[in-house]
Structure 1
Amino acid sequence: MSASPPRLRTAAVIPAAGKGVRLGPGAPKALRTLGGMPMLVHAVRAMAASRAVELVVVVAPPDGEAEVRRILDSHPLPEAAAAETDLLVVAGGNTRQESVRCGLRAVPEAIEAVLVHDAARPLVPVETVNAVVAAVRDGALAVVPALPLADTVKEVRPGAEDEPEPVVATPDRARLRAVQTPQGFDRATLVKAHRTVAVEGEGATDDAGMVERLGERVVVVRGHEEAFKVTRPLDLLLAEAVLARRRVTDGYV
């Protein structure tokens, strides 16, 4: 009878400082309500639902740390998750990359693996979280959940807004994947990427891409259709429908 694999001490970092302008005017995207609770609360609970995750670090807007604490205190973790998962709120930076770096600094040295999860993916199933952690536990330095593309993709030469753009290539769809989160990392590798990889402008929006630039191997595990990103009003409607179904069929709260 084979022994169970050792538990990998794991933390999740959730950058939640983005404004989410494509979702329309109102509160920052992570604080928009979904099924009566802010999306951020759903995202935190999704990470805490995994027994592998012992710490969730929420990275708030630089001037919004107190508000985020208040919101999370108003929507505590379910009792079982709260018994196994600590929750920490820290202030972030002006870009996603800076915010992830702030979250990493708050992770104790004893943690071996780090997940980075978008607050705007509130409904990622626990099975996807566990699959990412398992791949890191099995030796992968960087792991991303992803799905095959349903649509043909065209590479274009970007032009002015509302102007036709010339197509320059049609990539082979079979080789492409739509990446989701949480992305999982060997902690030391992710820290090294954030310390050494410089990204100009708005900074890195994909932590696995930073690890790629180190020359390290990134692997893909199967993602899930319900781990979609809530970016536009239509996405919010879809998320409400998924949540309503879960509440009927799974007793989701």
Structure 2
Amino acid sequence: MLVAAGSGTRLGADRPKAFVELAGATLLSRALGGVLAVPAVEEVVLVVPASHLQEVGGLTGTRQGVRISAVAGGAERTGSVAAGLGALSENVTRVLVHDAARCLTPMPVFTRVLAALADGAKGAIPGVPVVDTIKAVDERGVITATPDRAPLRAVQTPQGFDRGVLERAHAAGTQATDDAALVEALGYDVIVVEGDHRALKITTAADLVLAEHLLATGSRG
């Protein structure tokens, strides 16, 4: 599943983020190309704003033997992922939830997530060590704690799950910033595998410039 329902407000764009161009191609089309390169992928659901469903019509159908469909996203991420789950074929048992904004994610990241699921994990997500010092602050901006960064990870996508577990997690109705948090709330262990700093989430104009540099220097795969 490719989630592309973000507004793009922080990017300063006049269109949803996934439809912003990066070196001549939209983030969505670049992300889709990366997903289709993963041999284990059999089906892709594009989750996009309702206003742009017709715009992705040319991306749907069947490519490289992979069925591609599109569905309208929700007001929040959890609603968008739930909509994508509902559009998947019944025979799908493992689900990857990937952000179109992470359109430069290298193939090995997908491979590591899928390998963890194949080994029996109910959930697996990529993450990279936190390099900045982290501070917890109160409503006044006063520091209340300095967590040890050694066990901390900045997580990325694709996040992979057993489909039944992910569906039950969404049925619980809890809002969260990622799907792993919903699965954790049900009491399941979620494995963190090695991520990649190239799998950056394009959120601001500065991120777009960095992504352009990575493409120009051939630093994606």
Q: What are the equivalent positions in structure 2 for 1:35-184 lying under 5 Å apart?
A: 35-70=23-58, 72=59, 82-159=63-140, 165-184=141-160
Distance in 2 (CA, whole Å) between partners of 1:241 and 1:69 is 30
Identity of aligned residues (%): 46
Q: RMSD in angstroms over aligned alpha carbons?
A: 1.7
SS at match of 1:217: coil
- Alpha-carbon offset, residue 96 of structure 1: 1.3
Aligned counterpart, 1:230: 202
Distance in 2 (CA, whole Å) between partners of 1:153 and 1:233 is 24
Gaps of 5+ in 1: 1-12, 160-164
Distance in 2 (CA, whole Å) between partners of 1:205 and 1:84 is 32
Q: TM-score, normalised by structure 1?
A: 0.83
- Alpha-carbon offset, residue 228 of structure 1: 0.6
Aligned counterpart, 1:9: none
2:6 to 14, 18, 37: 18
Please tell me whether the aligned partners of residues 62 and 94 of structure 1 are also in contact (alpha carbons under 8 angstroms).
no
SS at match of 2:103: coil
| Structure of higher CA gyration radius | 1
**Large movers: runs of 4+ above 3 Å:** none
Letter in 2 for 1:217: D
Q: TM-score, normalised by structure 2?
A: 0.95
C-alpha deviations, 1:23-78, integer Å up to 9, x for none?
113111111000100001111111111101111110111222111224x36xx99x
1:212 aligns with 2:200: no
Aligned counterpart, 1:244: 216
Aligned residue pairs total 221
Gaps of 5+ in 2: none
Distance in 1 (CA, whole Å) between partners of 2:215 and 2:108 is 17
